[in-house]
């Protein structure tokens, strides 16, 4: 049994805007990787490029428009390779509830703990991107 990261938060924006921000490469680069490519379709590969040294890949395991997208890491870091992560969305009166998860970490090591912290910061960046139009320069993202 692996370790998991969970973060739930509300974004005050429309469901389609939130879904685009978590699934479309041209939006993902505004809050997570430096460069990104991929197609929103089960079995397709996304490339999350952070630097030449951190040029990672994941496969879309499941997706449904304005509902969820789930990825399985395929080529990344030894700690990340066994993991899957995803976003499940739920429309609420006050916005969209984003239920983020990152599961199957092999160890509760320093990398796992650091990644949990980084996800929290990055997801705050996602929220600020959608609610305020704020794009944190890549070099300033944790």
Instruction: Classify residue 87 by burial, with Cβ atoms within 10 Å: 0-12, 13-18, 19+.
Output: buried
Q: Could you tell me the pTM of the whole model?
A: 0.96
CA dist., res. 44 & res. 58, Å (int) = 8
Q: What is the pLDDT of residues 9-53, one digit of tens each?
A: 999 999 999 999 999 999 999 999 999 999 999 999 999 999 999
55 neighbors 45 (Cβ within 8 angstroms)? no
The domain over range 3-140 is classified in CATH as 3.30.70.3290: no
Q: For the chain, which residues make up each domain, given as ranges?
A: 3-140
Average pLDDT over residues 52-67: 97
Q: What is the pLDDT of residues 112-139, one digit of tens each?
A: 999 999 999 999 999 999 999 999 999 9
């Amino acid at each position: 049994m692996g370790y998991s990261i969970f973060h739930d938060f509300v974004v005050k924006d429309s469901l389609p805007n939130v879904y685009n921000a978590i699934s479309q490469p041209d939006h993902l680069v505004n809050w997570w990787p430096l460069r990104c490519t991929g197609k929103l379709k089960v079995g397709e590969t996304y490339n999350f490029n952070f630097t030449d040294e951190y040029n990672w890949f994941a496969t879309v395991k499941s997706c449904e428009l304005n509902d969820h997208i789930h990825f399985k890491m395929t080529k990344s870091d030894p700690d990340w390779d066994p993991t899957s992560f995803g976003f499940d969305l739920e429309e609420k009166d006050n916005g969209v509830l984003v239920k983020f998860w990152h599961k199957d970490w092999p160890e509760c090591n320093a990398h796992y703990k650091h990644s949990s912290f980084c996800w929290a910061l990055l997801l705050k960046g996602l929220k600020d991107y959608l609610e305020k139009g704020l794009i944190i320069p890549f070099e300033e993202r944790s």
